[in-house]
Amino acid sequence: MDWDTLYETCITCKKCRLSETRTNVVFGVGRRDAEVVFIGEGPGQNEDLKGEPFVGRAGQLLDDMLAMIDLTRENIFIANIVKCRPPGNRDPMADEQTACTPWLEQQLAILNPKIVVSLGRISAMYMISSEFKISRDHGKWFDKDGVQMMALFHPAALLRDPRRRPETFVDLKSLQQKIREICTNTYH
């Protein structure tokens, strides 16, 4: 499936109950040839209204985090585990993730990124390991089928607990170094 067909099919999805309460499907934003992909857990209220990931306060912090390592939304791709907002911004349930993750898997197959960055525990448990513990494993690198993966604290968690910001800065600098080592078009 090509990108445009994937998008058109995804935005009409009704595979789970989240489709019943959404305003917009949040497909993702960024480069279609991105070497670096950031993956959150699911859209919140602002994202549901706008149809774009990370546009609220957590999104503003994510933009600041990206800027610290010379990244922008234009030179990466940002997506979520689920494409529709869970009610009350709750964690996506297992059956919702199962219904929705084929969209993400198809996006990743087309993008073929060199680096995947999970934002928060839910994303890391899906992308890296079901045993992932964000407080223990953030900033560590994992090789999964030739793709370098790491997880950062979710920007919303950093808003709630700013004491995690210094260690997140260290993780971001590690990400920047890995991008410089293995990516060719991210900073261009």
- d(C-alpha 60, C-alpha 160), whole Å: 14
Q: Domains in the chain: how many in total?
A: 1
Domain assignment present for residue 188? The answer is: no
Domain assignment present for residue 141? The answer is: yes
What is the bridge-based pairing of β-strands 142-144 and 147-152?
A: antiparallel
Domain assignment present for residue 119? The answer is: yes
- d(C-alpha 151, C-alpha 162), whole Å: 17
Domain assignment present for residue 187? The answer is: no
**Three-state DSSP state, 142:** strand
Residues 142-152 as b/e (b if ≥16 CB within 10 A, e otherwise) read: beeeeebbbbb
| pLDDT tens readout for residues 152-187 | 999 999 999 999 999 999 999 999 999 999 999 887
- Which pLDDT value is given to residue 188? 65
Closest CA to 66 of 168, 157, 167, 149: 168
> If you search the block for the tokens 């992932």, which residue do you land on?
132
Closest CA to 35 of 188, 139, 172, 154: 188
Q: How far apart are the first and last CA of the chain?
A: 27
| pLDDT tens readout for residues 11-59 | 999 999 999 999 999 999 999 999 999 999 999 999 999 999 999 999 9
Domain assignment present for residue 175? The answer is: yes
Q: How many CA atoms lie within 13 A of 12 on its CB side?
A: 5
Domain assignment present for residue 150? The answer is: yes
| pLDDT tens readout for residues 77-126 | 999 999 999 999 899 999 999 999 999 999 999 999 999 999 999 999 99
- Which pLDDT value is given to residue 186? 84
Which pTM was predicted? 0.97
Could you tell me if 82 and 18 are in contact, meaning their C-beta atoms sit under 8 angstroms apart? yes
Structural domain harbouring 43 = 3-182
Residue 135 maps to which CATH number?
3.40.470.10
- Which pLDDT value is given to residue 99? 97
Domain assignment present for residue 139? The answer is: yes
